[in-house]
């Protein structure tokens, strides 16, 4: 026997169905919005703090890489490169946050408190096991700094430095080239500031650093009455300096494309001419 419902009951059922339909639609719309906000294709949402690009550099950061130890100014070669890359991947200057790290901590395995780190990291296969790298934004040579009153101030060849007590920062390409090109016995120091102090206090006869840093050490009297005697022939870093990112970072592909684009469109060359030319030209080569 068919069952008949009173009109009031039918209206109640219809209302319930309508509410359920609206709830389902709202739920679907909410999920769509959530999906859009966490869209993995949006690089700006894949950072440590979504919407903010956290960039690290050294403490302190030196000229000509960063002027006046103020990376947020965008002045200095690495500060300028960092902002150029940030813009390429979708971050305005206002959405960049700077933090500081040591050199060693930045390239050690483990979690990081930055999205990118730029402080003259040479790209090596060993380091690639712990972190990701962008392509090279600069291929540095290595230079020798001595005191003007040193017997090594008149050096014109690498052979002239064989008997010198030479220092370099531990774990760097500077150390590798000094050991490869000059002698096996290279003294190591934890950072370039301590290295400069060692030369200034006569603990060593000469120090090896990348050429722009060498010129800055002399220009800023980090070593009193010092001179850059020359660049080491054959010391240009073949892989170059790269931006460090956490291992398997979601930003690596985008940063890689950004650096390649900046290389191809001439931006890197323009920035090098602006910030590095006076630190890399008219310096003799020690063969």
The CATH number of the domain covering residues in 142-232: 3.40.190.10
Beta-strand runs (E) in 36-138? 53-57, 96-100, 116-117, 131-138
* CA distances in angstroms from 44 to 33, 82, 89, 159, 251, listed in the order given: 16, 15, 8, 52, 9
Assign 21 a pLDDT band (cuts: 50, 70, 90): very low
Please determine, for residue 17, whether its predicted confidence score (pLDDT) is greater than 90.
no
Q: What is the pLDDT of residues 50-61, one digit of tens each?
A: 999 999 999 999
pLDDT at 41: 78
Same fold for the domain at 44-139+239-282 and the one at 142-232? Answer: yes
Please determine, for residue 12, whether its predicted confidence score (pLDDT) is greater than 90.
no
Beta-strand runs (E) in the chain? 53-57, 96-100, 116-117, 131-138, 142-147, 166-169, 186-189, 206-210, 226-232, 241-246, 285-286
Q: What is the pLDDT of residues 102-129, one digit of tens each?
A: 999 999 999 999 999 999 999 999 999 9
What is 44-139+239-282's CATH topology?
A: D-Maltodextrin-Binding Protein; domain 2 (3.40.190)
Assign 27 a pLDDT band (cuts: 50, 70, 90): very low
Please determine, for residue 95, whether its predicted confidence score (pLDDT) is greater than 90.
yes
Please determine, for residue 132, whether its predicted confidence score (pLDDT) is greater than 90.
yes
What is the per-residue burial (b if ≥16 Cβ within 10 Å, else e) of 184-216? eebbebebbeebbebbbeeebbbbbbbbbbbbb
Please determine, for residue 247, whether its predicted confidence score (pLDDT) is greater than 60.
yes
Q: Domain map of the chain by residue range?
A: 44-139+239-282, 142-232
């Amino acid at each position: 026997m068919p069952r008949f419902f009173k009109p009031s009951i039918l209206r109640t059922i219809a209302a319930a169905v309508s509410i359920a339909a609206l709830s389902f639609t709202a739920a679907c719309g909410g999920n769509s919005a959530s999906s859009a906000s966490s869209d993995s294709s949006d690089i700006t949402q894949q950072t440590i703090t979504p919407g903010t690009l956290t960039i690290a550099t050294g403490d302190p950061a030196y000229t000509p890489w960063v002027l006046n130890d103020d990376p947020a100014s965008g002045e200095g070669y690495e500060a300028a490169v960092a902002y150029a890359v940030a813009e390429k991947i979708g971050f305005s200057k206002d959405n960049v946050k700077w933090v500081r790290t040591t050199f060693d901590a930045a390239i050690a395995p483990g979690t990081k408190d930055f999205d990118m780190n730029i402080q003259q990291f040479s790209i090596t296969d060993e380091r690639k096991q712990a972190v990701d790298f962008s392509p090279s934004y600069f291929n540095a040579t290595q230079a020798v700094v001595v005191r003007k009153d040193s017997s090594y101030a008149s050096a014109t060849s690498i052979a002239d430095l064989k008997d010198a007590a030479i220092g370099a920062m531990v774990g760097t390409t500077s150390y590798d080239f000094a050991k490869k090109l000059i002698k096996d016995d290279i003294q190591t120091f934890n950072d370039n500031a301590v290295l400069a102090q060692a030369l200034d206090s006569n603990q060593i006869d000469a120090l090896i650093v990348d050429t722009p840093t060498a010129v800055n050490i002399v220009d800023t009297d980090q070593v009193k009455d010092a001179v850059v005697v020359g660049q080491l022939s054959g010391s240009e870093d073949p892989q170059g300096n790269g931006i460090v990112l956490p291992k398997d970072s979601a930003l690596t592909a985008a940063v890689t494309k950004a650096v390649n684009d900046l290389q191809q469109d001439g931006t890197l060359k323009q920035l090098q001419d602006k910030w590095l030319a006076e630190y890399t030209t008219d310096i003799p080569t020690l063969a």
